[in-house]
Amino acid sequence: MEEALRIGTLVGGGDAVRVIPQIVKHGFESFSLTFWQTTGETNLAETAARVRELAAEHHFVISAVGVFGNPLTGKGDNADTLASWERLIDHAHLFGTDIVNGFTGRLTDCSIDESIPKFAEVFGELSRRAADKGVRIAFENCSMGGNWQTGDWNIAHNPTAWEKMFNAVPADNLGLEWEPCHQMVALIDPIPQLRKWTDKVFHVHGKDATIAWDIVKEYGIHGPKEYVWHRTPGFGDTNWTDVISILRQAGYKGTIDIEGWHDPVYRDELEMTGQVHALNYLKTCRGGSFVPNPR
């Protein structure tokens, strides 16, 4: 198993001890634990201890822990986001992972260019804190409805922004939590992008997209009809065999963790049906289970 690129899923950090025992039996090999804006009242050390017990029993790994909010503003519901980043960096080793993930944040309603100095200030310090603890920081490539000119959450959704970010903070432990879906929403071809950026891909989300090119060609992307849908892997347009081949050719040693709860078809009572299909599909795309060579 150590030699296999593991396939897992995302679980809320505060729900991990309750949820993981219910779903690990389906064959998930890793779990990425996520918090929204704050780690809140969760006792991270206690949660880590209980999750590590489950991991030993069921032979999975915790691939990453993360908080998804805006650490650059510190306002409103994001007041604890920066402190949560610090807590997760400090506690990551207790979960057995070296990756903390999330959004970069941005200056609200300002451009990516205007947000870069604050990003450099905040993540320059966080990258040093993380490096001292052997931790890598991975930014999800999600726009959260923003664009180059304005937004509320994240600047790490465009390759030009990545260049600016990594030039502003040239730290080896800053990288990406990449998925094809968010690039396809922007009509970017994810495959050549992945080939170019593999050395900065620390973690991969298993989320795909379906693009309705007939709608794009007739109505464009600003018309009344939806032109793209987030999909669970196995139901979208991406060739995940190519994705996994590119990752393995580049020496990627991480996991692919399914980000569910977005598919417009496999949702509600069909959520876990879709996720388990994606789990088995992605295992097939990697070549199945690991088979050792003869000695």
- The answer, yes or no, to whether residue 1 has pLDDT greater than 90, is no
Rounded to the nearest integer, the mean pLDDT of the chain is: 97
Q: What percent of the chain is modeled with pLDDT above 70?
A: 99
Q: What are 235-257's pLDDT values in tens digits?
A: 999 999 999 999 999 999 999 99
Q: Is the Cβ–Cβ distance between 263 and 274 less than 8 Å? A: yes
- The answer, yes or no, to whether residue 3 has pLDDT greater than 70, is no
Q: Indicate the Cα dihedral angle 192, 193, 196, 198, nearest 10°.
A: -110
Token output for 120 = 């450099």
**What is the pLDDT, as a whole number, of residue 4?**
74
- What is the mean predicted confidence (pLDDT) over 124-150? 98
What is the value of pTM for the model shown?
Answer: 0.96
**What is the pLDDT, as a whole number, of residue 157?**
98
**What is the pLDDT, as a whole number, of residue 290?**
87
- The answer, yes or no, to whether residue 37 has pLDDT greater than 90, is yes
* Closest to 161 in 3D by CA, of 140, 179, 145: 140
